[in-house]
Structure 1
Amino acid sequence: MRIDLLTIFPHYFDVLDLSLLGKAQDAGLLDIHTHDLRQWTTDRHRTVDDAPYGGGAGMVMRPDVWGRGIDQVLSVDLADFHSDSARRVLAIPTPSGTPLDQRRVEKLAEVDQIILACGRYEGIDQRVADFYREQEVEVLEYSIGDYILNGGEAAALVLIESVSRLLEGVLGNPESLDEESYGPDGLIEYPVYTRPRSWRGIDVPDVLTSGNHADIDRWRRDRSLVRTAHRRPDLIDRLDAQCLSTRDKEVLAGAGTIITPRRRDVMIRLAREGEAEALSELAANTFPLACPDYVSQDDIAAFIEESLSPSEFERMLASPSVYRILVAQLRGASSELIGYTLTILSGPDGMPTQMVRPGKLELGAAYLSKCYVREFWQGSGVAGAMIERAVADVEAQGRNSQIALGTSIANKRAQTFYKRHGFSVAGRRTFMVGEKANIDDVFVRNITPRSRHE
């Protein structure tokens, strides 16, 4: 690739002789030429600018000077290409240009010659870009961000480095391109770490030293998703939901972003006193969704009245040290509660004795009594995000080393869900819904309780 730089400060680009770009030039991978724009002036003062028509502050760079310079650079014979097939781009940095992103950089990496016109003052006379477009030259007026620089040189360096590193042979390890921010998956890159393993009380995440490459890949994917959701939500909006796995959606929901079935922001938090009515409505709406077909409406209604009433939730909300209720709430104009979990850490409503399996599941386990999401939001990742947040919440309380739950043997979808989140079958139990006895599979997940001061 040949790159021509037209500027009134040619020494600005001496940095291109350093590091990888310098080596790429030495190896013949890049052919960079810097031109002093003033060589195409015709007056003794070597003037490149003049006052703007219509008045206003600052000076505008003259089109006649630019035209002579660009014409000469466009006439250069590209020895490695037939003149009728070489692809040339005139790139003009300007704060009013099209944002330069990785997709555009990738397209630029395919051209044969890039001519960079580095303006100063108030910019280059608009007729320069317009004229060369009319001459069927490919013109790119681009911006590197929503801020103003003194000139186009810094933006030109950004384009050169971002494009050049994509050329074959420029990077020592081409595989590094696959894992970078703004790559094919459209995400920001994950955090990176190196030696020492512990620095100023901060340790490298254990997964990165585990040697389990599948776990490392998954951790990096998760961190990329979370970073992108927090720092560049605009990139999340461009993601194709069909290309996201169930785990991806759960990670995004945990980071506060729902992609499907509708793009919404969500927060997962502890329920508050005063939300008993809303919780009761949510519970009454979602409990029937998990009931087997053989459970009658009368039995479902009886269970809701007895166990999911506003007064029951008021009682539990008054004792947050025992009853841990998390809710998923939409942000924005509609602040609807769309899901909840209820975990009981101890006490008479806690771990049922009939679920205990010595050696597998102990009486001191936390009891995950409820995990429900409204039907419309099922498949959004909210349920998975909530279950992981509930587990983390129990760990943070530091009182339990296991979490147990029961789900109907007929609910294969729920069983698959819990297994995917690290729960294993420990046995079975009988669970009453109204007058109807149901057989549940009992699941358990071991956890590591943390000190409240960690």
Structure 2
Amino acid sequence: MRKIQVITLFPDMFTGVFENSMMWKAQKDNIVELSTVDLREFGIGPRRTVDDTPYGGGDGMLLKPEPLFAAVEKAKENDPTARVLLMTARGERWVQAAAQVHADDSEQGYIFICGRYEGYDERITTLVDEQIRIGDYVLTGGELAAMTVVDSIVRLIPGVLGGEKSAAIESFADGETLEFPQYTRPEEFRGMKVPEVLMSGNHGAIAQWRADNSFKAE
């Protein structure tokens, strides 16, 4: 079973995500083990301090190296070969193709590091295998980004979604195409009708309609 661990100061944020929908199913079916590592437990001193002011001055606080290193090392005890992924605004932009590659690596586990405050001590990058961002914007912390990346990987692991072609025909599966419009019952709703070709039973015509009505990602 693959292990995905998330190092965070706010482990409670992941409860709803990990205990619902496909994340819950993946764990129930023993496909993935999802867990969090509370960075505060590795804080220094009686107050379990995890941050400090940056050398050279500047606003805000940085995550200290000692708690980060200790947390990664603890997570590695649980999964020695796990790859370490750092959620950071200067990382590689996460795309569907990357999610597929990570999902296909059937034995690989992951340790996600969620940044906070103004950032982290640069020395943590010596333990990191990949630096990732989910878009060209800044979040308060790396938790939401980590949730997004974890979800995008887990849902593509065989056995999670269920349908063999569920992931193959969706948006960005080929790196550039957005999925075609889809409809379900009723046939007509508030004057809006389902395209006749979709109810024709002509699979060739349906495939052509779907191809013609797919969009190119910008």
Instruction: Give the TM-score taking structure 2 as reference length.
Output: 0.93
CA distance in 1, matches of 2:63, 2:116: 7
* 2:161 aligns with one of 163, 171, 189: 171
Extract unaligned runs of 5+ from structure 1.
Answer: 134-138, 234-454
Tell me, yes or no, if structure 1 residue 147 matches structure 2 residue 137: yes
Tell me, yes or no, if structure 1 residue 116 matches structure 2 residue 117: no
CA distance in 1, matches of 2:10, 2:111: 16
Distance 1:185 1:207, change over 3 A: farther
Distance 1:101 1:185, change over 3 A: closer
Tell me, yes or no, if structure 1 residue 198 matches structure 2 residue 188: yes
CA distance in 1, matches of 2:50, 2:44: 10
Query: Where do 1:159-308 residues align within 5 Å?
Result: 159-184=149-174, 186-224=176-214, 227-228=215-216, 232-233=217-218
* 1:132 aligns with one of 116, 127, 150: 127
Number of the residue aligned with 1:91 = 85
- 1:384-404: per-residue Cα shift (whole Å, max 9, x none)? xxxxxxxxxxxxxxxxxxxxx
How far 1:181 moved relative to its partner? 0.8
How far 1:42 moved relative to its partner? 2.4
How far 1:200 moved relative to its partner? 2.2
CA distance in 2, matches of 1:125, 1:220: 49
SS in 2 for 1:106: helix
Number of the residue aligned with 1:71 = 73
Number of the residue aligned with 1:2 = 3
Number of the residue aligned with 1:56 = 58
Root-mean-square deviation over aligned CA pairs:
1.5
Aligned residue identity for 2:4: I
SS in 2 for 1:67: helix
How far 1:198 moved relative to its partner? 1.6
CA distance in 1, matches of 2:194, 2:55: 60
SS in 2 for 1:150: coil
Distance 1:103 1:185, change over 3 A: closer
CA distance in 1, matches of 2:90, 2:191: 46
CA distance in 1, matches of 2:143, 2:164: 27
Number of the residue aligned with 1:27 = 29
Aligned residue identity for 2:122: Q
Query: Where do 1:348-363 residues align within 5 Å?
Result: none
Tell me, yes or no, if structure 1 residue 106 matches structure 2 residue 100: yes
Distance 1:188 1:120, change over 3 A: same
Q: How many residues are aligned here? A: 214
SS in 2 for 1:5: strand
Number of the residue aligned with 1:434 = none
Number of the residue aligned with 1:250 = none
Aligned residue identity for 2:189: W
Aligned residue identity for 1:94: T
CA distance in 2, matches of 1:54, 1:202: 62
SS in 2 for 1:156: helix
CA distance in 2, matches of 1:95, 1:122: 11
Distance 1:185 1:157, change over 3 A: closer
Whether the 8 Å contact between 2:96 and 2:175 is mirrored in structure 1 is no
CA distance in 2, matches of 1:19, 1:158: 14
SS in 2 for 1:214: helix
Q: Which has the higher contact order (CA 8 A, sep 6+)?
A: 2
Extract unaligned runs of 5+ from structure 2.
Answer: none
CA distance in 1, matches of 2:72, 2:180: 42
CA distance in 1, matches of 2:134, 2:9: 20
CA distance in 1, matches of 2:175, 2:72: 37
Aligned residue identity for 1:45: R
CA distance in 1, matches of 2:121, 2:175: 39
CA distance in 1, matches of 2:34, 2:175: 31
How far 1:186 moved relative to its partner? 3.4
CA distance in 2, matches of 1:206, 1:185: 29
SS in 2 for 1:215: helix
Identical pairs, percent? 37
How far 1:185 moved relative to its partner? 6.3
CA distance in 2, matches of 1:211, 1:55: 68
